[in-house]
Structure 1
């Protein structure tokens, strides 16, 4: 088994808000991130797949194909978008770094031929990232993402 990671970048804006709270409660919980006009980030995505090396090609997965999948499923959907307003999975869910990682996993799961999705890592900033290893990953105590409040 070998692990292969591909990176991609996208720029998006978002805000955090609980619609059941007052403006004051949202500001107290989310600070500047509660601004309804949003703010932006230059995100870095790392997608790690796992599989066996093909003895003919030497690849776990064709790198161009993996890049094309990331472009079609994530970058073209998230890049230069306001996540709360333009990306369906965030209509009713705060697009936190954690929730973005879960949503990207769900977009990619099962779409990379001859490899298993192992990890999705989303960097919101150089010093802030979230890792997601799937719904049944070791260490998740068999909790689903939705039971952890990470529904997309």
Structure 2
């Protein structure tokens, strides 16, 4: 079976504080630096989603762009945009690093994808930092 790929980028703004109760305050500051600020800090994230699968004979598409947009809008953007990630239930027991955000977005989308296979999620946190998750 041949596989084609379709990717799309989305933007969201969210804040977080990198801190874990498993470390002392001093160790948290040493580990996370300025990202351990008690008031938190924010990012304008760029989320890239790549879907792969066979090209549908009728539509000529792997997935309809409008369908993908709707899934990402309802399951990711509405949930995380303009929020503090520390308060989302997905991060109750883990530090909301962008690595963990990338894994969480992948997991949420994987369960919500109506057609096509989710290949990866890539998140740009800053101009220089990006994270990518391909699943288990």
User: TM-score surpassing 0.5?
Assistant: yes
Within the alignment, does 1:100 sit opposite 2:101 as a pair? yes
Equivalent-residue separation in structure 1 for 2:47 and 2:24 (angstroms): 33
Count residues in correspondence: 134
Structure 1: stretches of 5+ with no match in the other structure? 136-152
RMSD across aligned positions (CA): 1.0
The TM-score with structure 1 as length reference comes to: 0.84
Provide TM-score, normalisation by structure 2. 0.94
Displacement of 1:97 in angstroms is 1.3
Contact conserved, 1:105 with 1:132, CA < 8 A, in 2? yes
Q: After the TM superposition, which segments of 4 or more aligned residues of structure 1 sit over 3 Å from their partners?
A: none
Where structure 2 has 5 or more consecutive residues not aligned to the other structure, the ranges are none
Give secondary structure in 1 for the equivalent of 2:96.
coil
Hey, what's the Cα distance between the residues in 2 that align with 1:112 and 1:103? 14
- The higher relative CO (CA closer than 8 Å, separation ≥ 6) is in 2
Match of 1:42 in 2: 44
String of CA shifts for 1:81-131, please: whole Å, max 9, x gaps: 00002x110112111111111000110114222201101101101221111
Q: Is the 8 A contact 2:9 2:47 kept in 1?
A: yes
- Look up the SS of the partner of 1:126 in the other structure: coil
Say which SS state the counterpart of residue 3 (structure 1) adopts.
Answer: strand
